[in-house]
Chain A
Amino acid sequence: NAGVTQTPKFRVLKTGQSMTLLCAQDMNHEYMYWYRQDPGMGLRLIHYSVGEGTTAKGEVPDGYNVSRLKKQNFLLGLESAAPSQTSVYFCASSYRAWEVYGYTFGSGTRLTVV
């Protein structure tokens, strides 16, 4: 009954370093999403996927890449980290009919870029 699991929970990067955030869900959800949360800005969509092998850009995709090679996993990559990418990152997943159940969120990854 894990739901949505994000790893790591915390990370500090130096400017220019790269890293990958992993999101795994065990609910057989079709849709997966990556959001970032910044004070006063709410949750902003970075990228999302409507099924295995698909990805799409959200509101703030620049500087990030994603992959959905397996249905249960959605990876978010930062190729060259910048201080502006300091944020809390949330992964979420949903059934196709998200209108009924909404999203299930992970507990977040707090990333600091110095």
Chain B
Amino acid sequence: GQQLNQSPQSMFIQEGEDVSMNCTSSSIFNTWLWYKQDPGEGPVLLIALYKAGELTSNGRLTAQFGITRKDSFLNISASIPSDVGIYFCAGGDTDKLIFGTGTRLQVFP
């Protein structure tokens, strides 16, 4: 089936650093969403993107919908310890979301 590949798989960064991660697909999506999962919890929606080329921000988070509609990017600026977790991209497919493999982020003080 469809799969979204995220990279990197994991990141270990120092507090205050900026973070970049991306998500690629073999299929075109008309909607891209980014979720964050805290340890022991379900994923929570961070940002939704609806148009190719769109750039959307939510506080220190900025996400972009790739021009080809086959990729998306998430940036986190000035990371803080509570940014720790797993970040998932998701592409909209008719009546369901297809999730990526996840990027695990660790932030050290």
Contact = CB atoms under 8 A, between A and B. Distances in A.
Given A102-B33, A105-B43, 15 more contacts: A31-B95, A40-B9, A41-B101, A42-B3, A42-B4, A43-B88, A43-B102, A44-B99, A45-B99, A98-B92, A99-B48, A101-B45, A102-B35, A106-B42, A108-B40
Contacts of A48: 95-96
Interface residues of A, number: 26
A58 B1 CA distance: 9
Contact of A42 (B41, B42, B50, B99): B99
B42 A92 contact: yes
Interface of B: 1-4, 6, 9, 31, 33, 35, 40-45, 48, 50, 88, 90, 92, 95-102
B44 A99 contact: no
B42 A105 contact: yes
Contacts of A98: 92, 97
10 contacts: A42-B4, A42-B99, A42-B100, A43-B99, A45-B98, A59-B1, A90-B42, A102-B45, A103-B45, A108-B40
Contact of B101 (A31, A42, A100, A103): A42
B22 to A, nearest CB: 14
B96 A108 contact: no
A74 interface: no
Contact of A100 (B2, B41, B48, B100): B48
A107 B31 contact: no
B31 A99 contact: yes
